[in-house]
Structure 1
């Protein structure tokens, strides 16, 4: 393993096993809200045929929205990457595969009638089967994560810098094949691998931001101006610039999460981060329902306001669905049942949560 990965594992292992890293949850919370916002805003604008004020926020977040999510997903990998393959596959592949199968089936259950009306039920069946090769809708993130985990473990004995340079080159190459797995792997793996490889530096950045909040705020202001300017002028899509902006945005979200954790502000974001996968899995339903209701009734004329309301409904609705599932004994929607484990567990819980 890379020396930096070893240092990360050593430093992280000093923390209590039951503890969560506060700024990580804040950062994940910011990211999941941005993801819901993006799908909500673009969905509303597409249906309405016009844009609103929320479009600016979505455009501003585009350079760093998914890079930050993937980097954080790789941040603690050094702690588990040397586990035996059976345990590793159980935690990092079967875990996400279970939730993908459950939720792609649920999404198809809601969308199948509309698909069938446009084509046929046979075509719907084929489309469902295809979703296990070509990720469906919003679920591509948890489809891709297990692939990242496997590739990183398979290559852990290769020179880390060489792997990182190849990953960076793939992002810069802007590979477009039309296949989500290939295209998103090339565009995102560099961030996931960076979380794994550079974890000590990520935590050092957070420590500096916590120790010097005024300087951190000044750096955030400068970044925000630069990011907004490059996005406004279309330069954020340029090769290399997108890579730099991706990492700059990641640093900004880490810093923001750290400052929020330091001040204990906006704890709702922390809660969202603790349950980010829960929100990711379920937000599509309240989002789509609220969008349809507001646009058809016309009770709110401003598209930006509609987009904001749909975003809020997506986040809160997903959490409500999760709580409802727990109360109605439908825990399998968000927690992996015992029958779907392939490796023994340390503790006694009968289920493993989506997180």
Structure 2
């Protein structure tokens, strides 16, 4: 579910809202508002889920963790940064950060992560989580909260996606330390709790919107925390619908290819569609304004998974089997390397 929200956000911000709409309709604004309202949920929940599945990995010895998680995720980040840089060079007007020279590429590789920042953040988070294993949980989470609050309040220099790295360590660690709590929240999910959580969440979002309060110190991590509980509750309810649960679980096991492939594919789709859609007649634009975000999100996810079946494994895994824990029996089933079990 998280990865579909990521793709939807990029579809909205980098393509849908860039169309030159000739019709007067509230639909475009509604889609944009929906994307904004999901901001506190999308990446915080993504990282909380990653932390949830990282428990066993963090307990492994340093050499194993360094090879199977840290080296793997940084390798994937560096590899796909090269691929994105090459592909996006052919779509210079596409609205995403790209390296247009060696110095910017070096910066994205090291200190100012690109739109692939989730991968580099995971590599860093695994190191931090392992390093603080013997530190009291309250101290670790307190420090992570302070970092998140400071970054979201605009008190740190956060070029590129560095702010996301600072803000989301808290949620990765929360998922790591709160695994049993998350399991209980999902198991006891109810529509009543979803409603009870939805009301304060909507209220907090209203405060953020009306008072431009995202930079109020500590508010954004709190809003994101409420969003995570709301998201876990919703996931627990969806898990009871078998066909939907199976579909989302299948996508969840193959998060990585969708994450790394969807942006260059979206850039190419945007290049192909932006002019025809901007010049389309009112009837066509009405249909597009209502349906395109969902249709394009689903299409991109499907296309990523199709390509994943045929692309070399070295694009998604550390070569030579280095990313596989020797304590885990080999599997013949190809699943996403983002799984941190």
Task: Note the C-alpha offset of 1:185.
Answer: 3.2
Correspondence 1:296-315 to 2 at 5 A: 296-298=275-277, 299=280, 300-302=284-286, 304-305=289-290, 306-315=292-301
Alignment gaps of 5+ in structure 1: 1-28, 116-121
Correspondence 1:88-127 to 2 at 5 A: 88-113=65-90, 124-127=101-104
Task: Note the C-alpha offset of 1:182.
Answer: 4.9
Task: Note the C-alpha offset of 1:114.
Answer: 5.5
Change (3 A) 1:110 1:345: farther
**Aligned match of 2:250:** 271
Correspondence 1:13-32 to 2 at 5 A: 29=1, 31-32=2-3
**Aligned match of 1:261:** 239
Task: Note the C-alpha offset of 1:200.
Answer: 1.9
**Aligned match of 2:317:** 335
Correspondence 1:1-355 to 2 at 5 A: 29=1, 31-44=2-15, 47-48=18-19, 52-113=29-90, 124-174=101-151, 175-180=155-160, 182-209=162-189, 213-223=190-200, 225-226=202-203, 229-230=206-207, 232-234=209-211, 237=214, 238-267=216-245, 268-298=247-277, 299=280, 300-302=284-286, 304-305=289-290, 306-325=292-311, 330-338=312-320, 340-341=322-323, 344=326, 346-348=328-330, 353-355=336-338
Task: Note the C-alpha offset of 1:203.
Answer: 1.6
**Aligned match of 1:11:** none
Q: Give per-residue Cα distances to partners, 1:246-276, cap 9 Å, x unaligned.
A: 1111011111111111222524333222211
Residue correspondences, number: 313
Task: Note the C-alpha offset of 1:189.
Answer: 1.2
Task: Note the C-alpha offset of 1:216.
Answer: 3.1
Task: Note the C-alpha offset of 1:186.
Answer: 2.5
Cα separation, 2, equivalents of 1:92 and 1:135: 21
SS at match of 2:188: helix
The farther-off stretch of 140-149 and 47-56 is 47-56
Change (3 A) 1:353 1:194: closer
Q: Give per-residue Cα distances to partners, 1:85-120, cap 9 Å, x unaligned.
A: 1101112211212211221121122123566xxxxx
Task: Note the C-alpha offset of 1:135.
Answer: 4.8
Cα separation, 2, equivalents of 1:144 and 1:228: 26
Change (3 A) 1:345 1:159: closer
Task: Note the C-alpha offset of 1:52.
Answer: 4.0
Q: Is the 8 A contact 1:76 1:196 kept in 2?
A: yes
Aligned-residue Cα RMSD (Å) equals 2.8
Change (3 A) 1:95 1:145: same
Task: Note the C-alpha offset of 1:324.
Answer: 3.3
Cα separation, 2, equivalents of 1:339 and 1:269: 28
TM-score (norm 2): 0.81
Cα separation, 2, equivalents of 1:225 and 1:352: 36
Q: Is the 8 A contact 2:254 2:336 kept in 1?
A: no
Cα separation, 1, equivalents of 2:19 and 2:317: 36
Task: Note the C-alpha offset of 1:72.
Answer: 1.2
Task: Note the C-alpha offset of 1:345.
Answer: 5.5
The farther-off stretch of 85-94 and 301-310 is 301-310
Cα separation, 1, equivalents of 2:323 and 2:205: 45
